Chain A
Amino acid sequence: MELKMKPLKHSFSQTELYYLIAIALFVVINIAGLFVYVLPERDRLKLAKQDIVQFSSMLQSVQNEYADEKIPDDLINKLTTRVPTERVDSANLIFFHELADVSQAPLAFVKQSSGMGEEQNTSDSSVSANGTMTTNFEVTVVGHLPSLLQFIDNLHNYSRLYNLQKWSMTELSKETINQEYPDLYSHSYIKKDTAVLSMNMTIQSYVFPQFADAFKQESKVEELPDKAV
């Protein structure tokens, strides 16, 4: 007996072969399309949607942070000129000198003194409950009566806010002038035949440190996220 161990041939017809090639081709195209177009497109969309969520949240935050009105810079400047947000003592001294010159009442004495009772005192200034810092100055000027009145008026009308809280005028005798202000008559506007008075004042100056950050917020605007799509 003879045993046939040869497998039988499994042959495809030509049509089946075409089908197989076409199927294989489409499978390859499918796989390529999946990795080249479908998945990246899906990821882009996913990222874009994440962006939308981020932007929506930012819009919400911007709506909460921003008011629907704008304060022009000149108004802010005007306010900070009237009451600055930073304490600069030299500015006060320059001001007293200029005011004395303009008013023709030479500046004799300036001293910084402590603030008022109810407020929280530091060494030479006080901070009120609303955060306003008040500094008291004891200032003395000498001159003729019209000059002293002019000093008071100029102080009131100056662009920066000062408050003349207390003041007193006293006529100076010739002896006092010679002893305490020996160079007083070197000023052309001080006349020897007219009474000279000394005026001691307590002048308050104000600073708004509590608004310093608020008025500098422009530069701290949050950046928009980068475009993902």
Chain B
Amino acid sequence: MKSINLLPAKQKTSSRNPQLMPLLLLIVILLLGAQLYYVLSWKSEGSGVEQERLRLEQEIDQIRKSGDLKVKVDGYRQAEQILAGLEQSRIEWKPYLKAIVGHLPSTSKIVTISVADEPKVSMELDFKTASDVIIYMQKLEAEEVLKDVVLTSYFKKVDGQTSSEVVASGTTGETTIKTVRKEVYKLMLDIVLADAKGAQSDGTQNEAP
């Protein structure tokens, strides 16, 4: 009896592509090569990126080291300006006071000297003689730092009080004690200051005697 083989026909060895295996091997080798290429390429790129990062970091540090925060610098400049304005608005009284007080005779008396908001000095003074008053006023008028010396009032005031004075009598050199009324020459002045800022530079010219 004749046997029948129902199994699929045996593939012939020759039917397999003989280049398949080498091709597959080549592909996996190429894949490995590609991986190596990318790793090296990314490493190289990473190194460049690291350099860039270091450069940026250095630049940031450099900016921070070489400068201050703008808010601080701007604040300082603004504060300087405000300060300059405040300094400018101040009056240096020394030169004016030297001019006003420096010419006062030793026998005079300050009742009041006052300065309100305006750059104007109001004074009430007592003098012993009328000539002292006139000399004092002339000296004030000659002062450059004082713009206007305005006489408000001037009068002789005799107190009810008396004082004792030793006076010479006759040619023999004898002295007697005389009771006299206390009298003063009152002077009231308003003095306008020439230029509050200019006075600072002129101040050295007005030395008190």
Partner of A166, one of B7, B72, B87, B116: B116
Are B68's CB and A69's CB within 8 A? yes
A20 in the interface (beta carbon within 8 A):
yes
Report whether over half of chain A's contact residues are helix, strand or loop; otherwise say mixed: helix
| Distance in Å: Cβ of A27 to nearest Cβ of chain B | 6
Cα–Cα distance between A211 and B69 once the two chains are bound (Å): 13
Are B29's CB and A214's CB within 8 A? no
Q: Which residues of chain B from 19 to 44 have any CB-CB distance to chain A below 8 Å in the complex?
A: 21-22, 24-25, 28-29, 31-32, 35-36, 38-39, 42-43
Are B94's CB and A152's CB within 8 A? yes
**Interfacial chain A residues near B195, Cβ < 8 Å:** none
Are B3's CB and A2's CB within 8 A? yes
Digitize B172-189: 1 where CB-to-A-CB distance is under 8 Å, 0 elsewhere. 000000000000000000
**Interfacial chain A residues near B49, Cβ < 8 Å:** 45, 48-49, 51-52, 229
Are B1's CB and A164's CB within 8 A? no
Are B68's CB and A67's CB within 8 A? yes
B114 in the interface (beta carbon within 8 A):
yes
Binds B, one of A86-94, A167-175, A181-189: A167-175
Cα–Cα distance between A22 and B21 once the two chains are bound (Å): 10
Digitize B129-154: 1 where CB-to-A-CB distance is under 8 Å, 0 elsewhere. 00000000000000000000000000
Are B28's CB and A27's CB within 8 A? yes
Cα–Cα distance between A68 and B66 once the two chains are bound (Å): 6
Q: Which residues of chain A from 82 to 112 have any CB-CB distance to chain B below 8 Å in the complex?
A: 82-83
Are B69's CB and A45's CB within 8 A? no
How many chain A residues touch B (CB < 8 A): the figure is 83
Are B83's CB and A83's CB within 8 A? yes
Q: Which residues of chain B from 109 to 143 have any CB-CB distance to chain A below 8 Å in the complex?
A: 109-117
Closest B residue by C-beta to A22: B25
Are A26's CB and B32's CB within 8 A? yes
Are A68's CB and B67's CB within 8 A? yes
Knowing A55-B56, A152-B97, the reply to whether A16 touches B7 (Cβ < 8 A) is no
Are B21's CB and A149's CB within 8 A? no
Cα–Cα distance between A229 and B49 once the two chains are bound (Å): 9
Q: Which residues of chain A from 19 to 51 have any CB-CB distance to chain B below 8 Å in the complex?
A: 19-20, 22-23, 26-27, 29-30, 33-34, 37-38, 41-42, 44-45, 48-49, 51
Are A70's CB and B66's CB within 8 A? yes
A178 in the interface (beta carbon within 8 A):
no
**Interfacial chain A residues near B92, Cβ < 8 Å:** 156
Q: Which residues of chain A from 116 to 151 have any CB-CB distance to chain B below 8 Å in the complex?
A: 130, 132, 145, 149
Cα–Cα distance between A79 and B72 once the two chains are bound (Å): 13
Knowing A165-B117, A168-B112, A171-B110, the reply to whether A33 touches B3 (Cβ < 8 A) is no
| Distance in Å: Cβ of B32 to nearest Cβ of chain A | 5
B166 in the interface (beta carbon within 8 A):
no
| Distance in Å: Cβ of A74 to nearest Cβ of chain B | 12
Digitize B74-108: 1 where CB-to-A-CB distance is under 8 Å, 0 elsewhere. 11101110110011011111100100010000000
**Interfacial chain A residues near B28, Cβ < 8 Å:** 23, 26-27, 30
Digitize A1-31: 1 where CB-to-B-CB distance is under 8 Å, 0 elsewhere. 1111111101001011001101100110110
| Distance in Å: Cβ of B120 to nearest Cβ of chain A | 11
Cα–Cα distance between A173 and B157 once the two chains are bound (Å): 18
CB-defined A-B contacts under 8 Å, sample of 13: A19-B21, A26-B28, A33-B32, A66-B67, A76-B76, A79-B80, A79-B83, A161-B90, A163-B86, A164-B93, A167-B93, A167-B115, A211-B79
